[in-house]
Structure 1
Amino acid sequence: MMTTPTPEPSPDDVARGLAELERHLGEQAPPLPAIPSARPIETVGQTKRVQRLRAEVAEAHLLADLQGDDAPLLVDTAKVRKRRKQAREAARLHELGQDPAMRAWQAARMRRVLVAAAMVSLTLALAWSTAGVQTFAADGAPAWSPSWVFAWLVEPFMSLALLVVVGARAYLGTRGQPIESPTLVRIEWLFLALTLGMNAWPYLPGVAETFSISRLVLHILGPVVAVAIVTALPIILAAFTRLDHGTDARSGNPLTPLEYRANTSADSDPREHSDDPGQGLDAVTAHVRHLIAAGQLPAYPSAAAIRRAARCGMDTARSVRDALVKEAT
């Protein structure tokens, strides 16, 4: 059996086959996605003015939505926090100022300041009159002669003697034991009268060659100030010794503050005003524990916070505070 050989394809047949194959593959492949335009379709052909207005409208819508939120208004600014801190500090200082121990300390400090200022002023006043006393004591002696030199010592030794008496009365007056001695009072007035007379004598009318009221007042200024201080200082110290810094009528302790209450409303808890102190203290303590558990008070509240929250007296608030601290320890 004989076979017929297959003829070789010509170049045209190969080209036609490749073209058919490309066409067939092109029909079977999925369509390619369209390449998106770099510019939005809705903005194509629009001017920049329209685009700016569109952005402005979108921004306005966002701002309108955000303006309805009050959260920024609830945040304290730096100025508000500063004022709140200052107000809280002022309230605590006021509360501390009502404490009898603080009142006693303030009075003692003020008393020391006044006594020190009075003694300095008295010393300067007596030193001011030294020149006038030296002129009187020298009695026209030549400069640097023995009489002229010793005349400068007259006022200092009188002033030292006067300061001893005044200083002793001032010190004992600050200790609540003022000296009420007529003898010491006469000694003070004797020294002051001598100082005043020696300062004023050379400038009195009929004694001075040319009388001048200004020179007379200038030379008696020191003794007048000394008289005023010696007279006023015992009176001031006696007033300090009579100060009442607050005494508890129950204990008689001068450093125990008087009990006071905040203004109460009509719906206040009647347990606050119970006649039984123990029962009222237990009720307030239980109420404060409930407030601490509810988060309305800190774990260790101050007496002022307890007084405000429980609307009780300050003594009761301090007792509750101490009881809570004792329980914690």
Structure 2
Amino acid sequence: MSVASPEPHPEDVSRGLAALERHLADVAPVLPRPAHAEHGGETRRVRRLRAEVAEAHLLAGLQEDDTPLLVDTRRVRRRRKAAQEAARLHALGQDPVMRAWQAARVRRLLVSAALVSLALALAWSTAGVQVFAADGAAPWTPGWLFAWLVEPFMSLALLVVVGARAYLSTKGTPLSDRRLVRVERLFLGLTLGMNAWPYLPGVAGAFSLSRLVLHLLGPIVAVAVVISVPIILAGFAALDHTRAGTPGTAASYRPNAPDRYTPDSTSLVSLTARARRLINAGELPPDPGADKIRRALRCGMDTARAVRDALAGPDAD
């Protein structure tokens, strides 16, 4: 005989279901939470694209500002610095004091080189003069030793004349006395002749043109230096450092060209007296033309004509 079981109460059913849910929750595995759930549905790709768009907006706004283009780069600053330095050097080069200093420096360099060349040329010719003066004397004999002194004492006398003419040329008073010119030519001619004589055709046992030219080289260089130095120094003395001048713009005949002298010496009387001194010194012919006077006095053509007429006038003597 079976016994009927009592019907479950609804509360018992609810408690059973709740217990079942707790059991299933305890035994079920824990699944990871989706990433988009933590950031409101934004993935890493979305965030990267959002940052890229924001950066593009910022760049677009900054590109409209030209301020970075106004800032000088390092290369531009170097160029500007070099340009400013060149401009200042150019302005300094136009200063009369700087121009005088540059001219004095160049003049000193040229004179030093010329004197060194002259000394070497005379020393070169000393050996040739010694052969001529020794006249076959045995080495280390009195005649052979004294032959070495012939060229030095002639060279010293020649250097006295050259030095005096060079110094006076720097002071604007060229020394062109004909007697001094003859003395220079005499010394140089003696040096040239004594160097060349042992090697001339008919004198030398076996003539050699190369040996003759080699022994003439020293005297020829000495002649060139002696002639050139006074002319160069006279040109430096006539420089006007107050005028910059532009090469190639000066004409041969300038009616109103300013003179290169001080204001108190630009009168016709002073220029005429200077022209007479140049005529007496032999730098101008007795009856010079206007062009020669212009070049000698460094004045305008009209002034040169006036000086020419004054020299040829009744008071010329």
Q: How does 1:50-65 map to 2 (within 5 A)?
A: 52-65=48-61
Question: Match for residue 95 of structure 1?
Answer: 91
Question: Match for residue 289 of structure 2?
Answer: none
Q: Structure 1 residue aligned with 2:219, among 218, 223, 232?
A: 223
Q: How many angstroms apart in 2 are the aligned matches of 1:188 and 1:97?
A: 39
Q: How many angstroms apart in 2 are the aligned matches of 1:225 and 1:42?
A: 102
Question: Match for residue 115 of structure 1?
Answer: 111
Over 3 Å counting, the alpha-carbon distance change for 1:208 and 1:58 in structure 2 is farther
Is 1:85 aligned with 2:81?
yes
Over 3 Å counting, the alpha-carbon distance change for 1:56 and 1:130 in structure 2 is farther
Q: How many angstroms apart in 1 are the aligned matches of 2:145 and 2:227?
A: 32
Question: Match for residue 174 of structure 1?
Answer: 170
Question: Match for residue 199 of structure 1?
Answer: 195
Over 3 Å counting, the alpha-carbon distance change for 1:216 and 1:54 in structure 2 is farther
Aligned-partner residue type, residue 240 of structure 1? F
Over 3 Å counting, the alpha-carbon distance change for 1:155 and 1:39 in structure 2 is farther
Q: How many angstroms apart in 2 are the aligned matches of 1:38 and 1:204?
A: 119
Aligned-partner residue type, residue 40 of structure 2? I
Q: Structure 1 residue aligned with 2:209, among 199, 213, 233?
A: 213
Q: How does 1:144-183 map to 2 (within 5 A)?
A: 144-183=140-179
Deviations 1:146-198 (A, max 9, x none): 11111111111111111111111111211222212111111111111111111
Aligned-partner residue type, residue 209 of structure 1? G
Deviation at 1:122, TM superposition (A): 0.7
Question: Match for residue 139 of structure 1?
Answer: 135
Q: Structure 2 residue aligned with 1:242, among 238, 241, 244?
A: 238
Gaps of at least 5 residues in structure 1 are 1-36, 255-329
Over 3 Å counting, the alpha-carbon distance change for 1:171 and 1:58 in structure 2 is same
Tell me the SS of whatever aligns to 1:129.
helix
TM-score (norm 1): 0.59
Q: How many angstroms apart in 2 are the aligned matches of 1:76 and 1:158?
A: 68
Aligned-partner residue type, residue 141 of structure 2? S
Deviation at 1:220, TM superposition (A): 0.8
Q: How many angstroms apart in 1 are the aligned matches of 2:37 and 2:194?
A: 111
Question: Match for residue 106 of structure 1?
Answer: 102
Aligned-partner residue type, residue 151 of structure 2? E
Q: How many angstroms apart in 1 are the aligned matches of 2:262 and 2:73?
A: 46
Q: How many angstroms apart in 2 are the aligned matches of 1:131 and 1:38?
A: 112
Question: Match for residue 39 of structure 2?
Answer: 40
Question: Match for residue 13 of structure 2?
Answer: none
Over 3 Å counting, the alpha-carbon distance change for 1:127 and 1:80 in structure 2 is same
Deviations 1:183-237 (A, max 9, x none): 1111111111111111111111222222222211111111101101111112112
Deviation at 1:92, TM superposition (A): 1.9
Identity of aligned residues (%): 72
Deviation at 1:39, TM superposition (A): 5.6
Question: Match for residue 124 of structure 2?
Answer: 128
Deviations 1:223-271 (A, max 9, x none): 1011011111121122222222237x9xx978xxxxxxxxxxxxxxxxx
Gaps of at least 5 residues in structure 2 are 1-35, 244-257, 264-317
Give the aligned CA root-mean-square deviation in angstroms. Answer: 2.6
Question: Match for residue 182 of structure 2?
Answer: 186
Over 3 Å counting, the alpha-carbon distance change for 1:129 and 1:253 in structure 2 is closer
Aligned-partner residue type, residue 84 of structure 1? R
Deviations 1:277-309 (A, max 9, x none): xxxxxxxxxxxxxxxxxxxxxxxxxxxxxxxxx
Q: Once structures 1 and 2 are overlaid, which stretch shifts more, 214-223 or 66-75? A: 66-75
Contact 1:111-1:174 at 8 Å conserved across structures: no
Tell me the SS of whatever aligns to 1:205.
coil
Q: How many angstroms apart in 2 are the aligned matches of 1:179 and 1:96?
A: 34
TM-score (norm 2): 0.61
Q: How many angstroms apart in 2 are the aligned matches of 1:93 and 1:209?
A: 63
